[in-house]
Amino acid sequence: LRRPEFRRFTVAIFSASAVRDVSVAEADIVRAYEFQKDSLSRPERRTFVQVPAKDAATGQRIAAALRAGQDPAAVARANNVEVVRYDDRPKSSVVDKKIADAAFSLAAGQVSQPVQGDLGLAVLKVVSVTPGQTVSLEQARPQIVERLTQEARRDKVYELVERFTQLREQGRTIEQAAREVGVPLQSLPPITQEGQAPNGQRLPLP
């Protein structure tokens, strides 16, 4: 029977959550808000249908049928075309810019005149409009401050690690270096390379 090798460790603990003396400048908050304002805000979204038309006269008939309340799919079949549906889409997701401009200029329930898009003539009907939402600086502030604070804490930890490493290279013991940079030490019981204590218990260590 062979006993495995056991080792004791003293660990210097560098934890971002333990760093408290950090602050976030107002200028940094404003700069972060301006950088991510578009991603924080929700653009206006629309659901609309696009019925292609072979010519202007056909386009007028399609528009009249849609204004009369006929089903867009049925109108498309009657004119030997396929209806194109955009569900809850922002303007930026509509590839044809002319179609997008026309669709986002109509009110909910409104039918357009025949629109000459980049890929052909079409009639549009807006089904619904979901207004956009702009997130203000004050609304976004808690989220931004939390993120910047976490980043500042991580930066502080990196500084402590670098300082600790420099002190060790200058000959300080691990206890002296930890005391000078202000980080705690933890002494671990004897463990094997697999992380087991002498009694066989596995310790929750990396």
Per-residue pLDDT tens for 132-180? 988 899 999 999 999 999 999 999 999 999 999 999 999 999 999 999 9
SS3 204: coil
Predicted confidence (pLDDT) at residue 1 exceeds the cutoff of 90:
no
- Dihedral class, residue 69 (left if φ above 0, else alpha if ψ from -120 to 50, else beta): left
Confidence of residue 119 (pLDDT cuts 50, 70, 90): confident
Condensed to tens digits (0 to 9), the pLDDT of residues 58-101 reads 999 999 999 999 999 999 999 999 999 999 999 999 999 999 99
Higher pLDDT, 68 or 19: 68
SS3 63: helix
Torsions phi, psi for 89 (to 5 deg): -110, 140
* Tokens 């401009």 found at: 101
Confidence of residue 206 (pLDDT cuts 50, 70, 90): low
Average pLDDT of the residues of the chain: 92
Residue 3: per-residue pLDDT = 85
Residue 22: per-residue pLDDT = 85
SS3 125: strand
| Residues contacting residue 117 through CB under 8 Å, at least 6 positions apart | 96, 98, 99
Assessment of whether the complete model's pTM goes beyond 0.85: no
Residue 18: per-residue pLDDT = 76
